A and B are shown apart, each in its own frame.
Chain A
């Protein structure tokens, strides 16, 4: 496999947010490559949960491109992960807005065909389980993901960031740029909506 020169020449160990950012801002591009290697999986997971795995890689690409251009504005108040999540969330919002407008223009109602498909990696959740149990598990996961995607956007973002990404209320408030009380309320209402949807 052909790998970029920087991949071959620099170490793969993660030096930490501060050092990686400082290295990049000092003019060393390998600092950003380390950031991409360390955080791209997390950003992908978030993007996949927000827009689906089929469009997530483009969100990741856009997120890191914007991060590259705006890393000098990263002040370190929050973690780099939170900052990247903020960018990814905004890109996901923009993408979904664009898709919604396109659907409106072309009078194409949203189809749930993608929601019904199993996600990559969901086909065999537990190799030791029986085929019937595996099928039930796959179906339950698909239903849960579909229920998440059917949540109103503000609830979906809050629930995903809390229950799937494990962010604290404070970090969620930073990412969503809302007061912490709003975060609590959105999470509670989102979870309640999921209870209703899945019951």
Chain B
């Protein structure tokens, strides 16, 4: 007999919970006794209990749905298909990567590979600084490491907007695509740098620095030391960043180059003005030099092609060569002039 003769009253929710738990055998002894007392005393609670017990009974009597015929065989067969592939093969080795995980890893590897192959890794700051410094003084050079130097000389007159930005192919060249200030610096004529007597210019000029412009010039003539590009626009473009070339990737420019025994010891101290001279012409000249490297007389050597344009000898007399000691020692220098 319960210690409490008056059964507790419950709100509907509490009663449903108690009835439900009672039907499942989940009520502790005292609560079960309280509920039974209530059911005896309260017909509506008793009716509620019976209704819920009836529903639970009907639920439990519901037959299990019959699985379709041979479903487990189909599931296994389908699993066999779905679990083929790389992820499934790893299962044999005790790895249970999900396909999505494999996909993410593969995508990451592919992204890194592509980024390294397409985008060059950033240069260290020191390397960039050195390349920038080189680009100021040496805009173009020969592509082959044959000990010879190809250099394009720009006109003294600077064009701020003239140089085109360096292209991807010039990545091997010292000047990468640069801001306008850097482009302006790289467009500065090498002659200016030489005239300023920078101590390291000779070393730089002797060093190979492959660029597109240098390649074109190198293909035109072997054994050239210095190439003069008298046409202002052409010269400044070539000095800053070699422009796209004509057919075959080559662009012929008027040039004068040291040949013969003075190759590698004498070089031009100032740009030559060969623009406006009609071509095509190619000829060799022997220039007598004074003690300062200036030209005193011009003699055309045998050979060559095309007719010599008038005024060429006078222009060659305007040339001067450096270093003065080498000019004084040599006394003469042979140059090859080419007019496209």
A contact set with B: CB distance below 8 Å: 1, 3-4, 6-7, 25, 27, 29, 32-33, 36-37, 40-41, 44-45, 48-49, 53, 56-57, 60-61, 64-65, 68-72, 119-122, 125, 140-141, 144-145, 148, 159, 162-164, 169, 184-185, 187-189, 191-192, 194-195, 198-199
Q: Is the CB of A163 within 8 A of B72?
A: no
Interface 1/0 per residue, B56-67 and A, CB below 8 Å? 101110111111
**Residues on the B chain within 8 Å of A198, using CB:** 55
Residue on B with the closest CB to A71? B96
Residues of chain A with a CB closer than 8 A to B67's CB: 40-41, 44-45, 57, 60
Among A27, A36, A56, A163, the residue within 8 A (CB) of B60 is A163
Residues of A within 8 A of B52 (CB): 191-192, 195
Q: Knowing A36-B72, A61-B75 touch, does A44 contact B17 (C-beta < 8 A)?
A: no
Contact A61 B55 (CB under 8 A): no
Residues of A within 8 A of B19 (CB): 188
B21 an interface residue at 8 Å Cβ cutoff? yes
Query: Is the CB–CB distance between B65 and A36 below 8 Å?
Result: no
In the A-B complex, the 4 residue pairs with the smallest Cβ-Cβ separation, listed nearest first, are A188-B20, A48-B65, A163-B59, A44-B67
11 additional contacts (CB under 8 A) given A144-B62, A192-B52: A29-B80, A44-B68, A56-B65, A64-B79, A120-B68, A164-B60, A187-B20, A188-B20, A189-B13, A194-B59, A195-B52
Cβ of B94 within 8 Å of any chain A Cβ, yes or no, is: yes
Q: State whether A184 touches B79 (Cβ < 8 A).
A: no
> Is A65 within 8 A of B82, CB to CB?
yes
Rounded to whole Å, the gap between the CB of A161 and the closest CB of chain B is: 11
Please tell me the number of chain B residues within 8 Å of chain A, measured between CB atoms. Answer: 45
Minimum Cβ distance to chain B for residue A29 (Å): 8
Contact residues in A for B68 (Cβ distance below 8 Å): 44, 57, 120
Residues of chain A contacted by B93 (CB below 8 angstroms): 27
Q: Could you tell me the distance between the alpha carbons of A33 and B60 in the complex, rounded to whole angstroms?
A: 30
For residue B21, which residues in chain A have a CB less than 8 angstroms away from its CB? Answer: 184, 188
Query: How many angstroms from the CA of A125 to the CA of B61 in the assembled complex?
Result: 11
Contacts A/B (CB < 8 Å), 14 sampled: A25-B94, A27-B91, A36-B79, A40-B67, A44-B68, A60-B75, A71-B96, A121-B66, A144-B62, A163-B56, A184-B26, A185-B17, A192-B20, A194-B59
Contact of A69 with B98 in the complex, beta carbons under 8 Å: yes
A184 touches B62 (CB 8 A): no
B71 on interface, CB distance cutoff 8 Å:
yes
**Complex contact A141–B75 (CB within 8 A):** no
Q: How far is the CA of A150 from the CA of B129 in the complex (A)?
A: 74
Q: Is the CB of B73 within 8 A of A4?
A: yes
> Counting CB contacts under 8 A, is B83 at the interface?
yes
Chain A residues with CB under 8 Å of B16's CB are 188-189, 191-192
User: Does B200 reach chain A (CB closer than 8 Å)?
Assistant: no
Kindly identify which residue among A44, A64, A71 contacts B65, using a CB–CB cutoff of 8 Å.
A44
Residue of A whose beta carbon sits closest to that of B58:
A144
CB of B5, distance to nearest CB on chain A (Å): 27
Which of A44, A60, A70 lies in contact with B96, CB distance below 8 A? A70
Chain A positions within 8 Å of B11 at CB level = none
**In the complex, which of the residues A1, A145, A192 contacts B62, with contact meaning CB atoms closer than 8 Å?**
A145
- B residues 61-115 touching A (CB-CB < 8 Å): 62-68, 70-80, 82-83, 87, 91-94, 96, 98-99
Asked if B41 is at the interface (CB within 8 A of a chain A CB), the reply is no
B64 contacts A45, CB within 8 Å?
Answer: yes
Q: Check B63 against A121 for contact (C-beta < 8 Å).
A: yes
Please indicate the chain A residues that have their CB under 8 angstroms from the CB of B70 in the complex. 1
- Distance in angstroms from B7 CB to nearest chain A CB is 19
Q: Is B40's CB within 8 Å of the partner chain A?
A: no
Answer yes or no: B51 CB below 8 A from chain A CBs.
yes
* CB-CB nearest in chain B for A120: B66
Q: How far apart are the CA atoms of A189 and B65 in the complex, in Å?
A: 25
Are B58 and A140 within 8 A (Cβ)?
Answer: yes
Given the complex, which residues of A lie within 8 Å of B79, measured CB to CB? 32, 36, 64-65, 68
> In the complex the two chains form, is B59's CB within 8 Å of A27's CB?
no
Contact of B55 among A53, A57, A194 (CB under 8 A): A194
B146 at the interface (CB under 8 A from A): no
User: In this assembly, does B168 line the interface, its C-beta being within 8 Å of a C-beta of chain A?
Assistant: no
